[in-house]
A and B are shown apart, each in its own frame.
Chain A
Amino acid sequence: MYHCFTIRRFRCFEELTLGDLARVNLIAGKNNVGKTALLEAIFLHCGGQNSELAIRVNTFRGMENVSVAQFPWGEPPWVSLFYRFDTLRDIEIEGQDHLGKARTLRIRSEPEPVVVMAPELKAPKSFYEATSAHRSILFESQQDGEKTTQRMSIDLTGVRIEGFSTPPFPAFFYGARTRLPCREQADLFSALEVQKKEQFVVRALQILEPRLERLLVASSGGQVMLHADVGTDTLVPLPLMGEGMVRIADFAVCLGNASDGVVLIDEFENGIHHSVLKKVWSAVAQAAREFNTQVFATTHSWECIVAAHEAFSESDEYDFRLHRLERSDGRICVITYDQKTLQAAIETGLEVR
C-alpha cells in the first residue's frame, strides 16, 4: 500500500509529493488542477515498467487514436505525458510503502531509434516519403538497486514492445466517462464467483436496488453480461438498470479483483444519487479492507466528501484521507485533511474542494 507518492515532470506536475496516504484517498480540487493526471501517474507506477500504459492513459481521456508523425521531427504520441511537453526531461514517479520501501519509475522518450528490430520488408505508407519516423519510450523501474526496463517502439507500421513487464500488483483505472465493457465486467465477476467472493457485489448493488436477489452471468443478444434477478419473471441485463448500478458493479468487481493492489476511480460520484453516497462509501471501505485494496478517487462534490467522511467516521477505523490539489504561485500543491480537520471544515461549512 502506498504511503507516499512523488511525481516529477509528469503532465501538469513539475513536482508534487502526496503524503499521509490512507487505504482510501479522495482527491478534490478545481478543474484542470491535475486530479486525473495524479490518478494516471499512480496507474503508470502500478504497472511496473509496462510501457504500453504510455498510450493507454491517453485513451482514458478519450484520445483513442494513436498515430506517429510521418517525420522524425514530429511529436511522439506520448508527448502530453511530459511536463510542458518537454520530452527531453524524464518523468520520475516514486512510490513508497508504509515500511519506507521505495520504487521509482523513470520514463524516457528516446530521441533516436535504439531498438534493433528484425528486418522486415515493409511497404512504405507513401511512395513519396523519403524519411521514416520511429519513436520509442523507455520505462525503467528501479527498486532496491535493481533495474528492469521495457521499451515500446512505434513507427508507421505499428507498435513493438521489447522487454518483459511484471506488474507488482493488480491495478484498475476507472475513468470518469468510461465503463467496463460488459464482457470484462462479467469476467471479473466470474473470477470472484470462483473464489466464492461475489456476494459483496450483490450487497453493494442492493444499496441502489433493494429488490436485487442475485447476479448472474448470462448471454443476452449474443453478448455475455451480468444480469440481475430482482424477483420478476425474467432476469434484467445490468446495463438496463441505470448508470449508477453499472458503476457500482464496476467499482465492486474492480475492488474484488485488485487484492493487495490499487483501484483508481475518476469522478466517484458520477451517476450516483447523493442520498446513497454514504452507503456506497461504506461498501467501498468494507471491500477495500476485505481485499486489502488501496483506493484513489477524485471528486468535485461536497456531498461525496461529506458522505465519505461520515461513512469512515462511523466505521471501526478512519482509514480515509481527503487531499486537495490547488495551484499556488504557479505550482500545484496538495493539502491533506485528517479526520479532525475535515470534521471541523464540514461543521463550519468551510470549502474543502
Chain B
Amino acid sequence: MRTIAITERKLVVVEGNDDKRFFEALLKHLKLTNVQCIALGGRDEMRKTETWRALIATPGFSGLEAIAIIRDADESPQSAFQSLRDILGNVGLPQPAAPFQVQHSDPKVCILIMPDAHSQGELEDLCLRALTGKPVLECVEQFFQCVQQHGDSLPPKIAKAKLHAYLSSRKEPGRRIGEAAEAGDIPLDSQAFQQVIQVLKSVFA
C-alpha cells in the first residue's frame, strides 16, 4: 500500500481526494511551489481527533512551517470552524482566532471554511460562484426548473448538483471538481476564489 508521508514544509489539509486534486490545481495556478496537499480520507475522518493525532505523528510533521486546513461549512460555518478549532486545541496545535485568519505561530495555521465564513455549503458552492456570468448557467437553471416542474424534488445539495450539471456539458463530461479545475473547466482566477487565494498566499509566503 502506498502511504502518505509529509515531504514538504508547507501543508494543505483537506477532507477528500477530490478536494485534494482541486487545491493542488489551485496551488499550481498560484505558482505556490513546495506546498503539499494531504486528504484525510473524507468528511468524517477530518472530524475525528484520532485522525489529527495520527497526522501529527506522521514523519515530517514536526518540521512543518505552515498549515492551511480546509473544510466544508456544511450546515453551519461557525460550528465547522469551532469544532475544527477545538480539535486543534486537543491535539496541541495552534488555534486561529477566526476562519481565514492566519495564526502566526510555529507552525503557522489557518482554517478556511468553504464556501466562506458565513454561508452554509461546501467547496462546490464556491466553484459554482466562480461560474457566475457564464451563459451556460442559464441552461443549468432551466434544467432544474424543468425537473421541479415535473414533480421531482431537487437534490438537497443543489450547488453540487448544478455544478455537476454544468460539468456534464463540458467537452469531456463527468469530470469531478478536481479534474475540472485541472482541465480549466472551473476558472481559478475568478473573483470567487480571491479570499481563499489571499489566505493561501499569506500563510505560505
The reply to whether B63 and A328 form a contact with Cβ atoms under 8 Å apart is yes
Q: Provide the residues of chain A in CB contact with B59, threshold 8 Å.
A: 30, 324, 326, 351-353
Q: Which of A337, A343, A348, A351 has the most CB of B within 10 A?
A: A348
The reply to whether B54 and A348 form a contact with Cβ atoms under 8 Å apart is yes
Query: Is B75 an interface residue when CB atoms closer than 8 A count as contact?
Result: no
Q: Interface size class for chain B?
A: 20 to 34
- Which residues of A from 282 to 303 have beta carbons under 8 Å from B? 302
Q: Digit string of A333-352 for contact with B (CB within 8 Å is 1, else 0)?
A: 00101001111110111111
Q: Provide the residues of chain A in CB contact with B3, threshold 8 Å.
A: 302, 349-353
Give Cα A353–Cα B1 distance, bound, in whole angstroms. 13
Q: Digit string of B1-34 for contact with A (CB within 8 Å is 1, else 0)?
A: 1111110000000000000000000000000000
Q: Provide the residues of chain B in CB contact with A349, threshold 8 Å.
A: 1-4, 41
Query: Is B57 an interface residue when CB atoms closer than 8 A count as contact?
Result: yes
Give Cα A352–Cα B55 distance, bound, in whole angstroms. 9
Q: Given A344-B51, A344-B53, A351 and B45 touching (CB < 8 A)?
A: no
- Which residues of B from 62 to 91 have beta carbons under 8 Å from A? 62-63
Q: Interface size class for chain A?
A: 20 to 34
Q: Provide the residues of chain A in CB contact with B6, threshold 8 Å.
A: 351
Question: Mostly helix, strand, loop or mixed at chain A's interface?
Answer: mixed
Q: Provide the residues of chain B in CB contact with A351, threshold 8 Å.
A: 3-6, 58-59
The reply to whether B63 and A350 form a contact with Cβ atoms under 8 Å apart is no
Q: Which of B1, B2, B41, B50 has the most CB of A within 10 A?
A: B50
Q: Which of A328, A342, A344 has the most CB of B within 10 A?
A: A344
A271 to chain B, nearest CB (A): 21
The reply to whether B4 and A344 form a contact with Cβ atoms under 8 Å apart is no
A212 to chain B, nearest CB (A): 31
A262 to chain B, nearest CB (A): 26
Q: Provide the residues of chain A in CB contact with B63, threshold 8 Å.
A: 328
B13 to chain A, nearest CB (A): 11
The reply to whether A340 and B58 form a contact with Cβ atoms under 8 Å apart is no
Q: Provide the residues of chain B in CB contact with A344, threshold 8 Å.
A: 45, 48, 50-51, 53-54
- Which residues of A from 259 to 309 have beta carbons under 8 Å from B? 302
Q: Given A328-B63, A341-B50, A348 and B4 touching (CB < 8 A)?
A: yes
Question: What are 10 A-B residue pairs whose CB atoms fall within 8 Å in the complex?
Answer: A30-B59, A302-B1, A347-B51, A348-B40, A349-B3, A350-B57, A351-B3, A351-B6, A353-B3, A353-B59
Instruction: State which of B41, B48, B54 has its C-beta within 8 Å of the C-beta of A342.
Output: B54
Nearest-neighbor residue (CB-CB) of B3 within chain A:
A351
Interface residues of B (CB under 8 A from A): 1-6, 40-41, 45, 48, 50-51, 53-55, 57-59, 62-63
Q: Digit string of A239-268 for contact with B (CB within 8 Å is 1, else 0)?
A: 000000000000000000000000000000
Give Cα A335–Cα B57 distance, bound, in whole angstroms. 7
Q: Which of B3, B45, B57 has the most CB of A within 10 A?
A: B57
Nearest-neighbor residue (CB-CB) of A347 within chain B:
B41
Q: Provide the residues of chain A in CB contact with B55, threshold 8 Å.
A: 348, 350
Give Cα A350–Cα B38 distance, bound, in whole angstroms. 9
Give Cα A352–Cα B3 distance, bound, in whole angstroms. 9
The reply to whether B41 and A348 form a contact with Cβ atoms under 8 Å apart is yes
Q: Given A324-B59, A328-B62, A353-B59, A341 and B1 touching (CB < 8 A)?
A: no
Give Cα A217–Cα B41 distance, bound, in whole angstroms. 52
The reply to whether B54 and A345 form a contact with Cβ atoms under 8 Å apart is yes
Q: Provide the residues of chain B in CB contact with A335, threshold 8 Å.
A: 57
Instruction: State which of B5, B41, B57 has its C-beta within 8 Å of the C-beta of A337.
Output: B57
Q: Which of B1, B3, B53, B54 has the most CB of A within 10 A?
A: B54
The reply to whether A350 and B54 form a contact with Cβ atoms under 8 Å apart is yes
A138 to chain B, nearest CB (A): 38
The 5 A-B residue pairs with the shortest CB-CB distance, nearest first, are A345-B54, A344-B50, A351-B5, A344-B54, A351-B3
- Which residues of A from 114 to 162 have beta carbons under 8 Å from B? none
The reply to whether A345 and B2 form a contact with Cβ atoms under 8 Å apart is no
A337 to chain B, nearest CB (A): 6
A344 to chain B, nearest CB (A): 4
Q: Provide the residues of chain A in CB contact with B45, threshold 8 Å.
A: 344, 347-348
The reply to whether B62 and A341 form a contact with Cβ atoms under 8 Å apart is no
Q: Provide the residues of chain B in CB contact with A350, threshold 8 Å.
A: 3-4, 54-55, 57-58
Q: Provide the residues of chain B in CB contact with A326, threshold 8 Å.
A: 59, 62
Q: Provide the residues of chain A in CB contact with B62, threshold 8 Å.
A: 326, 328
Q: Provide the residues of chain B in CB contact with A324, threshold 8 Å.
A: 57, 59
Give Cα A46–Cα B40 distance, bound, in whole angstroms. 41
The reply to whether B50 and A352 form a contact with Cβ atoms under 8 Å apart is no
A57 to chain B, nearest CB (A): 27
Q: Which of A302, A350, A351, A352 has the most CB of B within 10 A?
A: A350
Give Cα A89–Cα B40 distance, bound, in whole angstroms. 46
Q: Which of B48, B58, B59, B62 has the most CB of A within 10 A?
A: B59
Nearest-neighbor residue (CB-CB) of B40 within chain A:
A348
A324 to chain B, nearest CB (A): 7
Nearest-neighbor residue (CB-CB) of A306 within chain B:
B1
